[in-house]
Amino acid sequence: MSDNLNELIHKYNVATPRYTSYPTVPCWNEANFSTSGWITQLQKNFDQDPAQGISVYIHLPFCESLCTYCGCNTRITKKHQVEAPYINAVIKEWQMYRALLGDQPLHIKEIHLGGGTPTFFAPENLRQLIAAVLEGNTMDENPAFSFEAHPANTSAEHLQVLHDVGFRRLSLGIQDFDPEVQRVINRKQSVEDVKVVMDQARAIGYTSINFDLIYGLPLQTLHSVFDTITVALSMKPERISFYSYAHVPWIKPGQRHFSEKDLPVGKEKMDLYKLGKGMIAEAGYKEVGMDHFALPSDSLLLASENGELHRNFMGYTDSYTPILIGLGVSSISDAWTAYAQNVKTVEEYYRMLNMGELPVLRGHLLSKDDEQSRRYILEMMCRDRVVLNENDPSKNAVIIQRLRSLRTDGLVRVKDNVVRATPLGKALIRNVCTAFDEYLHQETDPVSVRFSQAV
């Protein structure tokens, strides 16, 4: 790696949003938000074109043990009596949204089960949940139904039951195969655990399997990452997510179970990324958006090549819908012109539902400027290019000024009103997107207290 590249990595390794939404959650204007305002925006945007369908994200927060690297909203327990009350509460929340969206059948294009550990739940409870969501509604012939699974507790029955109700995509949270890394992050599953789940899923009929791998975890080395990716590639999943560990112990105290001295940072961390990315590409996978790779036959890559790739709170998807309904604690819903996030504790979630209230904690109503900036960031995240609005020259001038340093450093090219990310810019796409982030440039408080490092 050249000295110049080392300097760029050091320069751009700053606290930066991941842009799963815009505005990012810490920048939401909660003072102007109300649940009634959220409902109005949801109904208005849904009624404009119900045929476009909706996506559904369901957060299942329970885990039997804490993975210390995890940044998700989780509830740690070994008591599986919690399953039935939670399933019933999610179904109640879904029925409230169904009533708000009218009597006609909804066209459900995408369902994703996240967590937590969705496979903490018994297969029959998951069947009951999905059956309730699908009841009286329609879905695509090949629906984009996926779920996250822990290889160590996912059974053949889990796979079969979810396949029976339309699931064809599976995401296995592996992170790293190295025993010492697994020990320090408390995430333990063997290579054999993963192989068994893979073989069972293939035999049942799953058509797209994703591996989640992370670089930047404590105790990782070039040797351990090489071994992990070698094993992962030998199993030939259709997709691989290879993303940066987000160290935010001020938000997730579980990350204090290891020391910052154990973390690869800066050039050391970027070398892990370069190694992994190179191995994945050499194996025939193509880069899709940020941190995602897919085989040429996979629908995610085809969507990217066709200009149809989309990004929402569930990550990259080949199934665009303008409406995303988030169910369960901490879930975020998106109506394009408004966001709403649910309360973050199970107890408050139950309390509000029992009172007949949507369990909404906070949200944001997007302004016209927000919508334009959101489009720019989404375009850059999904297509590595942005066409600036020619009818807004003053804003364009501001954006191009912000891009000056990025252009000088070779992260972007600008011609007329078109901004394109270079190969280096794609690796630092979060930094590129900051040029379109109006809130970030208005900030007076340091962003380091809210966002993870870019590299």
Q: Where is average pLDDT lowest: 172-181, 203-212, 253-262, 329-338?
A: 253-262
Can you give the pLDDT at residue 419?
97
Give the model confidence (pLDDT) of 84-117 as tens digits: 999 999 999 999 999 999 978 999 999 999 999 9
Nearest-angstrom CA–CA distance, 296 and 249: 38
Q: Is 67 annotated as a binding residue?
A: yes
Q: Is 341 annotated as a binding residue?
A: no
Q: Is 57 annotated as a binding residue?
A: yes
- Answer whether residue 354 shows pLDDT above 60: yes
Can you give the pLDDT at residue 66?
85
> Reduced to 3 states, what is the DSSP secondary structure of residue 90?
helix
Asked whether the bond before 116 is cis by omega within 30 degrees of 0, the reply is yes
| Tokens of residue 361, six digits | 């904690």
Nearest-angstrom CA–CA distance, 263 and 361: 34
Q: Is 18 annotated as a binding residue?
A: no
- pTM score: 0.92
- Answer whether residue 256 shows pLDDT above 80: no
Can you give the pLDDT at residue 442?
81
Can you give the pLDDT at residue 313?
85
Burial of 367 (0-12, 13-18, 19+ CB in 10 A): middle
Q: Is 332 annotated as a binding residue?
A: yes
Mean pLDDT within 175-204: 94
> Reduced to 3 states, what is the DSSP secondary structure of residue 272?
helix
- Answer whether residue 455 shows pLDDT above 70: no
Q: Is 63 annotated as a binding residue?
A: yes
Q: Is 70 annotated as a binding residue?
A: yes
Can you give the pLDDT at residue 1?
42
Mean pLDDT within 317-346: 95
Nearest-angstrom CA–CA distance, 40 and 100: 10
Q: Is 19 annotated as a binding residue?
A: no
Give the model confidence (pLDDT) of 239-252 as tens digits: 999 988 877 666 66
Q: Is 114 annotated as a binding residue?
A: no
Residue among 224, 138, 214, 143 nearest 180 (CA)? 224
Can you give the pLDDT at residue 134?
97
- Answer whether residue 261 shows pLDDT above 70: yes
Nearest-angstrom CA–CA distance, 362 and 38: 10
| Tokens of residue 160, six digits | 């079969």
* Residue type (1 letter), 1: M
DSSP 58: E
Q: Is 315 annotated as a binding residue?
A: no
Q: Where is average pLDDT lowest: 158-162, 264-268, 450-454?
A: 450-454
Q: Where in the chain is the domain with CATH 3.80.30.20?
A: 27-327
Query: Mean pLDDT of all residues in the chain?
Result: 91
Task: Give the confidence band of 258 by pLDDT, cuts at 50, 70, 90.
Answer: confident
Q: Is 27 annotated as a binding residue?
A: no
* Count of alpha carbons within 13 angstroms of residue 291, beta-carbon side: 23
Nearest-angstrom CA–CA distance, 208 and 94: 27
> Reduced to 3 states, what is the DSSP secondary structure of residue 194?
helix
Q: Regarding predicted confidence, which is higher, 395 or 250?
A: 395
Backbone phi, psi, residue 423, to 5°: -55, -40
Give the model confidence (pLDDT) of 363-384 as tens digits: 999 999 999 999 999 999 999 9
Q: Is 266 annotated as a binding residue?
A: no
Going 327 to 328 to 331 to 337, the CA torsion angle's sign is: positive
Can you give the pLDDT at residue 290?
85
Q: Is 175 annotated as a binding residue?
A: yes
Q: Is 246 annotated as a binding residue?
A: yes
Mean pLDDT within 8-33: 86
Contact 360, 38 (CB under 8 A): yes
Q: Which CATH class is domain 1-23+368-455?
A: mainly alpha
Q: Is 303 annotated as a binding residue?
A: no
Residue among 132, 137, 221 nearest 176 (CA)? 221
- β-strand pairing of 310-312 with 315-317: antiparallel
- Answer whether residue 33 shows pLDDT above 70: yes
- The reply to whether CATH 3.40.50.1820 applies to domain 27-327 is no
Can you give the pLDDT at residue 448?
44
Give the model confidence (pLDDT) of 226-238 as tens digits: 999 999 999 999 9
Q: Where in the chain is the domain with CATH 1.10.10.920?
A: 1-23+368-455
